[in-house]
């Protein structure tokens, strides 16, 4: 250990905290910490190990600093971000790239040397007079092939506390590195504070250095910009996975019961925002391992997956006793939970949009004192709670948490679900012909259709392959090829499915009921285990009517008519053909390394659709195709 490193750390940490760092015996870690303690210049440094005392220290500090406040139910606290700091800052989130590095035309980046100079200037003395918190975490279960060690530097107790809930403690995991310096690094500062929130959000920066596997974040408190181990770490992990032959995916991991609950089959699922991802992962009566990010590896002839996290940072809007009973029960019971940007009522409880409770007349929210009709500094009316209000909770607080949450071997995946949102094209559920067909014609072609409520213009389709486009840190073509290659040598890969919960009929009404998705998931479980038939179509396999009737009765307690089935599962050829043309145009114009196999798969699918149209017309009833039942 270099003397200058020891001197810097010992002066700021004190003997007790410095001793915690010595116990890790990692010169690379010490050099990194000394560099950023010297640059940020905090008044003091606290080192968090895996001990409960250290975790409690941060929880108490969060209350002392005012970054969190206690609520009525024991264990519940609330945090408010600044008025202009309520979401991921896509504009100022950039990769630091060398001039010879190319990720893609839509990737936001800055020259690496220029970006490093800028962010280091911002971080210079940014923590003066404040305490720095250094925490060690593990992405994925500890002591596992899936484990990735990570160290977080922050001056925000809210960030440190959130990560303590969301991730597995990793101090002992760092010891397993045996001095190796390949770990993820995160440096964050909320910057100057005003009324306990970041003041200089105009100077907000989130910079990702793939070369050093490091993320810088400054002048922001919102967790999507500051909790480095979430989507920021996912970008680092996508690149590492690509180099090592595994996958980092924007996926839930859930268990679905078979008949009579005598079997549990595990699925992963990737959906763009507002397409039903969390609602699927949290289906009543099923099991959850994770709702957001998964690592997938080929192990012993199977695809196995783990949840990167051990908690949920979830959107709370529209969570109610009716829509999400498991989450709602957890959020209204004593447990360690951080609510962010909700409304705190006059009786000191959290309330949010779509909670199912009567809307309060007044309270306190991210804008301060709130009352009906209050307007913000931008002259917009302030809602009681923010649309992006969140909750942070340990998965173990949920009654439906699966016992394999921390299994170092992960779970065997039987099926992969890709979700999208469109009103006129895809059927509610469809199985691909095989793995490659699913990746190329379903996963790589995902679109999410906007609604009038979000953009003021309905029906705008946003391309989002694998629901992971915003977080890619490698070229798109390589990412697609990695997904194809992961099953190489596997005799029976997981089945791939596509779902669309938003299909509409001629009258403009949704053809899916809110809870119908449970039936589609149960049908998938039967397919994985060879216990349900399917109708072969030019684009994949549709459920057979006779298999859905008993599922609707068993799962939802209602009948299911031939008319409902036919309207939901009619093959809409003109719309399918238009989609394929849109997707081909995107790959031709924006992706420089599109795999040839992708274009061939799309062309082959269009040829099959055209042949079907010549025989049966533009809109083909599934009953017409029943002769191909398999």
DSSP string of 391-454, one letter each residue: EEEEGGGSTTB-TTTT-TT-EEEEEEEEEEB-SSSS-SEEE-SSHHHHHHHTGGG-EEE--HHH
Residue 150 · residue 139 · CB < 8 Å: yes
Radius of gyration over alpha carbons of the chain, in Å? 25
Catalytic residue check, 40: no
**Hey, how many other C-beta atoms are within 10 angstroms of the C-beta on 1?**
14
Which residues are paired to 46 by β-bridges? 133
**Hey, how many other C-beta atoms are within 10 angstroms of the C-beta on 487?**
18
The alpha carbon dihedral of 462, 463, 468, 469 has a sign of: negative
Instruction: Of 398, 424, 399, 402, give the one whose Cα is nearest residue 572.
Output: 424
In the chain, how many H helices and how many E strands?
18, 35
Q: Where are the alpha helices (DSSP H) in 88-181?
A: 112-123, 157-166, 171-175
CA separation (Å) from 620 to 333, 475, 537, 544, 625?
50, 38, 10, 15, 8
Reported as half-sphere exposure (CB side, CA atoms, 13 A), residue 549 has a value of 7
**Hey, how many other C-beta atoms are within 10 angstroms of the C-beta on 361?**
11
Instruction: Of 20, 255, 236, give the one whose Cα is nearest residue 139.
Output: 236
Q: Exactly one of 13, 40, 138, 275 is catalytic; name it.
A: 275
**Hey, how many other C-beta atoms are within 10 angstroms of the C-beta on 72?**
11
Instruction: Of 254, 288, 265, give the one whose Cα is nearest residue 530.
Output: 265
Q: Name the residues annotated as catalytic.
A: 275
């Amino acid at each position: 250990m270099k003397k200058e490193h020891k001197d810097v750390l010992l002066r700021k940490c004190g003997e007790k905290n410095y001793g915690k760092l010595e116990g890790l015996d990692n010169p690379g870690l010490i050099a990194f910490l000394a560099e950023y303690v010297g640059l940020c210049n905090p008044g003091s440094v606290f080192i968090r190990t895996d001990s409960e005392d250290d975790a409690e220290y941060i929880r108490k500090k969060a209350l002392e600093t005012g970054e969190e406040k206690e609520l009525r139910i024991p264990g519940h606290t609330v945090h408010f971000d600044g008025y202009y700091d309520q979401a991921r800052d896509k504009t100022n989130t950039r990769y630091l790239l060398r001039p010879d590095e190319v990720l893609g035309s839509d990737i936001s980046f800055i020259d690496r040397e220029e970006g490093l100079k800028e962010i280091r200037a911002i971080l210079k003395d940014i923590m003066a007079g404040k305490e720095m918190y250094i925490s060690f975490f593990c992405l994925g279960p500890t002591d596992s092939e899936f484990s990735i060690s990570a160290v977080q530097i922050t001056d925000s107790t809210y960030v440190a506390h959130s990560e303590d809930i969301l991730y597995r403690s990793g101090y002992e995991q760092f010891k397993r590195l045996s001095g190796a310096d390949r770990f993820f690094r995160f440096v964050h500062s909320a910057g100057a504070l005003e009324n306990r929130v970041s003041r200089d959000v105009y100077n907000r920066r989130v910079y990702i250095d793939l070369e050093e596997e490091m993320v810088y974040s400054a002048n922001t408190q919102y967790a999507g910009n500051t909790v480095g181990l979430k989507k920021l770490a996912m970008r680092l992990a996508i690149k590492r996975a690509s180099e090592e032959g595994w996958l980092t995916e924007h996926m839930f991991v859930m268990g679905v019961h078979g008949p009579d609950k005598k079997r549990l089959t595990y699925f992963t699922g990737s959906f763009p925002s507002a397409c039903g991802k969390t609602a699927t992962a949290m289906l009543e009566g099923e099991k959850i391992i994770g709702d957001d990010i998964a690592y997938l590896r080929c192990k012993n002839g199977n695809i196995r997956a783990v949840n990167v996290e051990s908690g949920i940072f979830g959107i709370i809007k529209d969570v109610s006793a009716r829509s999400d009973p498991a989450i709602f029960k957890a959020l209204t019971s004593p447990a360690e939970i951080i609510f962010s940007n909700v409304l705190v009522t006059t009786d000191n409880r959290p309330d949010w949009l779509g909670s199912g409770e009567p809307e309060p007349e007044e309270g306190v929210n991210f804008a301060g004192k709130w009352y009906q009709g209050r307007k913000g500094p931008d002259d917009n009316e302030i809602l009681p709670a923010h649309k992006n209000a969140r909750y942070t909770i340990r998965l173990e607080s949920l009654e439906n948490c699966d016992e394999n949450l921390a299994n170092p071997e992960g779970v065997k995946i039987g099926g992969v679900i890709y979700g999208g949102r469109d009103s006129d094209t895809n059927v509610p559920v469809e199985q691909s012909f095989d793995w490659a067909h699913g990746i190329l014609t379903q996963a790589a072609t995902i679109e999410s259709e906007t609604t009038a409520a979000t953009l003021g213009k309905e029906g705008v389709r946003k391309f989002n392959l694998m629901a992971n486009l915003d977080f890619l840190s490698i070229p798109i073509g390589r990412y697609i090829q990695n997904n194809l290659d992961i099953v190489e040598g596997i005799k029976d890969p997981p089945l791939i499915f596509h779902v669309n919960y938003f299909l509409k009929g001629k009258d403009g009404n949704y053809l899916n009921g809110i809870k119908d998705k449970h039936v589609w998931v149960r049908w998938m479980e039967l397919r994985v285990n060879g216990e349900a038939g399917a109708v072969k179509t030019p684009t994949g396999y549709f459920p057979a009517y006779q298999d859905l009737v008993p599922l609707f009765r068993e799962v939802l307690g209602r009948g299911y008519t031939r008319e409902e089935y036919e309207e939901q599962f009619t093959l809409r050829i003109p719309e399918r053909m238009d989609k394929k043309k849109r997707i081909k145009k995107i790959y031709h114009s924006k992706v420089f390394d599109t795999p040839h196999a992708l274009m061939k798969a799309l062309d082959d699918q269009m040829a099959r659709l055209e042949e079907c149209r010549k025989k049966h017309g533009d809109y083909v009833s599934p009953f017409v195709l029943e002769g191909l039942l398999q």
